[in-house]
A and B are shown apart, each in its own frame.
Chain A
Amino acid sequence: MTSQPIDESVRVVHRRRVEWLPYLLSLPALLVCVGILIPFVTALYYSMLRFRLNLPALKGFIWFGNYTNLLYDAEFWNTISISLRYTAITVGVELVLGLIIALLLQRQTLINNMISVLLLLPLMTAPAIASLMWKLMTNPNFGILSYLVSLAGVSDFRWASSPSSALFTVVLVDVWVYTPFMMVLLLAGLRSLPQQPFEAAALDGVPRLFVFFRITLPMLSPYIITASLFRLLDAIQQFDIVYAMTQGGPGNTLLVFQVRAYLEFYQYTNVGKSAALLVVLWVITYVLSNIFIKNWLRLRARSHASA
């Protein structure tokens, strides 16, 4: 009975202190959140407007008109197919190549460490600069690679300026720039794996292919998924390499999402369509990363449960 008032006053003091402190502490996060949300909501709003800079009188709210227009646009489906193909090819090639290099460099010797440091050099060049370098080297007139290819007997290989080889050239540059990233992550993963399973397998005389597919790969899969996720999100939003190499390619062969949205805005001044394209890109990215993160969490839970 007597303790009741004391208890209440304590609670009041407690509540008063709680009232503002959490808000103050989370204020930075709130500010960042608002800073992210304002451009995002603006883009969503623009994507529902008929908004052309050259026809300002027609500006008006049309709900999902831009999206339904996209559905009937053959160019849009072309963009989706190119973006997905580009992403699949680059991530696949980089994953396989990065894994091969990581396996080759797995043992910690002096020369292996030196090579792994040297291989990081492409990652340190800015992608736009790297594509300018490759543009110089693949120039059909004086480029060294064109010359080497012609020495090998392939005459008239046009690299980025022919529709049939433009995708190959851009993928080559992307692979050149980003494979070291894959390699570093996978190498760190490989070197941190516990040694016991491998020793046991060696004692039992298990064939090495079997060891690779049944021990190394499963244990490495969290690293593989993390590295691929990063590259996947980067590749589907690829802009700088494609734009610096070909500006969307001969014709429409390389119009990936961001390049197309950029051209839609700055060349055709169609803000609504550009925003709608980017919102579609956001949806694709969101779905892909959700799938990957779910898988990653499941894998991690499984490895923790078994450990």
Chain B
Amino acid sequence: MDRSSFVERALRGLLLTLIVIFFLFPIFWILLMSFQTNEQILRIPPSLSFVPTLDNYRALISGHLLTSAGSLDIAFMRNLGNSCCCRPVPWCWR
């Protein structure tokens, strides 16, 4: 393998890059979306220029998301609790 030519190594590198892009791009894109507001996510066409915001994560923890369309209740913390410790304690399901 050590005597592999330059062309072959370049080809391997190219293939690996394509594979890594295919498998990691969706995760990368969703990660970016998590730092955007709803208006920025729904832009047509999609673009990469935005000011990152932590509102979505704050909403997950506090349970309320305020958007321009109205407010939204999210039960994420309770779901997380239920998933982590699936215990039949009354204050867990509330």
A: residues with CB less than 8 A from B are 100-101, 104-105, 107, 115, 118-119, 121-122, 125, 130, 133-134, 136-137, 141-144, 147, 176, 179-180
Contact = CB atoms under 8 A, between A and B. Distances in A.
Contact of B20 (A115, A130, A136, A179): A115
Contacts of B41: 142
10 nearest CB pairs, A to B: A144-B46, A142-B42, A147-B45, A133-B30, A119-B23, A147-B46, A133-B26, A142-B44, A122-B23, A104-B16
Nearest to A148: B46
Contact of A141 (B20, B23, B44): B44
B10 interface: no
Contacts of B23: 118-119, 121-122, 176, 179-180
A119 B19 contact: yes
A162 B92 CA distance: 43
Instruction: Give the residue among B24, B26, B30, B33 with the most A Cβ atoms within 10 A.
Output: B26
B29 A144 contact: yes
14 contacts: A104-B15, A115-B16, A119-B20, A119-B24, A122-B23, A125-B27, A133-B27, A133-B29, A136-B30, A136-B33, A144-B46, A147-B44, A147-B45, A180-B23
Contacts of B15: 100, 104
B16 to A, nearest CB: 6
A176 B23 CA distance: 6
A217 to B, nearest CB: 18
B43 A142 contact: yes
B22 interface: yes
B30 A104 contact: no
B20 A142 contact: no
Nearest to B32: A144
A199 to B, nearest CB: 12
B89 interface: no
B12 interface: yes
Given A115-B16, A144-B46, 16 more contacts: A104-B15, A105-B16, A107-B1, A115-B20, A118-B20, A119-B24, A121-B24, A122-B23, A130-B26, A133-B29, A137-B26, A142-B41, A143-B46, A147-B45, A176-B23, A179-B23
